[in-house]
């Protein structure tokens, strides 16, 4: 009786064991770093901050950065790790085998092209999903453990992705896009470059339009107010004659309190507003983006299988031509 690690899946693991080891070390090292930061570094940073006199010069004004800076870097590596996946999928996983002809050799030894591609995608997808879930769980714990040492930055691009399933979605999408690119170009280095560019572009546009994935909240008030640190502010300004505007010459009103009030009245300002996303919008925004990325991954995978089927059933291929 065969086991799950025989045939093409086992071949994938053996051929790409270096990538598997690197991924395992990255996941293990990241989790270990988060544990160290929250069990050792956090106490040290908090002790340094406690020794600082808030009314005088602090001997270590950047005490908290020994904790917050590494957390920030970890979020960056977790968030943009999909770029490495795209490069690997396009170059090593698929592109190199098509370029060197080893894929065609496998197809002549009882492994159908569809089964070959399924193994190429399924094994890395499983490894990426398991590792990605571990990273997300560890980062959510690490990010929330010592909030007094960090700012309220839930909307920061790196943190936004690293705290949820979008981390896994981007990795799976990068795997699918890299595979499709390699099947289209059939060359390792061009597939690497195009895969990187495609995933970077996807992330760039989703990050740019992320704020529009869920309805915003607008708060209005006659007096001017300060936005909460937990908000993701998008727009703020004054209300003049019932209209919202950001083009208000506030610098003209720089006198005493009474003079400022008269100045604002002269400008016709009747209130102020702020449009923002509260922290409770994190999950709706995050899940919408995750759904978009997974949809792209599914479409890329479907196209990859259809493209492979069309090329491997062409008359030229049946006669022995290279794919």
pLDDT at 6: 63
pLDDT score for 1: 41
Overall average pLDDT of the 199-209 stretch: 96
Boundaries of every domain in the chain: 26-209+283-318, 232-277
Cα dihedral 220/223/228/232 (nearest 10): 40
Q: Which two tokens stand for residue 175?
A: 């795997």
| Per-residue model confidence as pLDDT tens digits over 56-90 | 555 444 556 778 888 889 999 999 999 999 999 98
β pairing state of 217-221 and 243-245: unpaired
Predicted confidence (pLDDT) per residue in 11-25, tens digit = 777 878 898 899 999
Angle between helices 8-15 and 113-145 (to 10 degrees): 60
What 3-state DSSP class applies to 39?
A: helix
Lowest mean pLDDT among 165-169, 187-191, 197-201: 187-191
Question: Would you state the pLDDT for residue 2?
Answer: 44
What pLDDT, on the 0 to 100 scale, is given for residue 200? 97
**Which pairs from 225-229 meet CB under 8 Å and 24+ separation?**
225/272, 225/274, 227/274, 227/276, 228/278, 229/151, 229/152
Give the pLDDT confidence score for residue 52 in this predicted structure: 63
Which tokens belong to 72?
């920030």
**113-129: average pLDDT:** 91
Please report where in the chains the tokens 């293990």 appear, as a residue. Answer: 28
Question: What pTM was estimated for this model as a whole?
Answer: 0.86
Q: Which of 9-18, 111-120, 175-184, 298-307 has the lowest mean pLDDT?
A: 9-18
Chain mean pLDDT for the chain: 84
**What's CA 222's distance to the chain center, in Å?**
39
Q: pLDDT, tens digit, for every residue of 243-302?
A: 777 766 665 565 556 666 677 676 777 778 888 999 999 999 999 999 999 999 999 999
The answer on pLDDT for 318 being more than 80 is no
DSSP H or E stretch at residue 270:
strand 269-277
Q: Is pLDDT at 4 greater than 60 in this prediction?
A: no
Q: Does 96 score more than 80 pLDDT?
A: yes
pLDDT average, residue stretch 222-236: 80
Provide the pLDDT for residue 131.
96
**Could you tell me how many residues make up the chain?**
323
Q: C-alpha distances in angstroms, 215 versus 132, 210, 282, 285?
A: 29, 11, 12, 9
Q: Compute the average pLDDT of residues 132-159.
A: 88
Give the three-class secondary structure for 298. Answer: helix
């Amino acid at each position: 009786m065969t086991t799950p690690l025989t045939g093409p899946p086992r071949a994938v693991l053996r051929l790409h064991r270096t990538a598997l080891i690197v991924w395992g070390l990255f996941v293990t090292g990241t989790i270990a770093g988060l544990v160290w930061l929250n069990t050792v570094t956090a106490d040290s940073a908090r002790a340094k901050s406690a020794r600082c006199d808030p009314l005088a010069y602090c001997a270590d004004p950047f005490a908290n950065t020994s904790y917050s800076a590494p957390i920030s870097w970890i979020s960056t590596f977790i968030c943009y790790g999909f770029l490495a996946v795209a490069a690997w999928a396009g170059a090593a996983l698929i592109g190199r085998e098509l370029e060197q002809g080893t894929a065609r050799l496998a197809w002549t030894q009882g492994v159908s092209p569809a089964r070959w591609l399924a193994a190429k995608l399924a094994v890395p997808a499983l490894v990426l999903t398991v590792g990605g879930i571990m990273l997300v769980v560890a980062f959510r714990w690490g990010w929330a453990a010592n909030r007094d040492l960090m700012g309220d930055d839930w909307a920061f691009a790196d943190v936004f992705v690293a705290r949820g399933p979008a981390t896994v979605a981007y990795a799976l999408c990068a795997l699918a896009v890299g595979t499709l690119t390699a099947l289209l170009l059939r060359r390792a280095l061009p597939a690497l470059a195009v895969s990187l560019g495609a995933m970077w572009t996807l992330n760039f546009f989703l990050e740019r339009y992320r704020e529009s994935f869920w309805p915003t909240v607008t708060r209005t008030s006659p007096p001017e107010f300060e936005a909460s640190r937990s908000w993701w502010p998008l727009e703020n300004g004054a209300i003049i004659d019932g209209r919202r505007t950001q083009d208000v010459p506030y610098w003209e009103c720089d006198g005493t309190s009474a003079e400022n009030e008269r100045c604002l009245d002269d400008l016709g300002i009747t209130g102020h507003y702020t449009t923002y996303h509260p922290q409770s919008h994190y999950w709706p925004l995050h899940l919408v983006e995750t759904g978009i990325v997974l949809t792209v991954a599914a479409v890329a995978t479907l196209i990859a299988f259809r493209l492979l089927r069309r090329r491997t059933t062409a008359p030229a291929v049946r006669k022995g031509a290279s794919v």
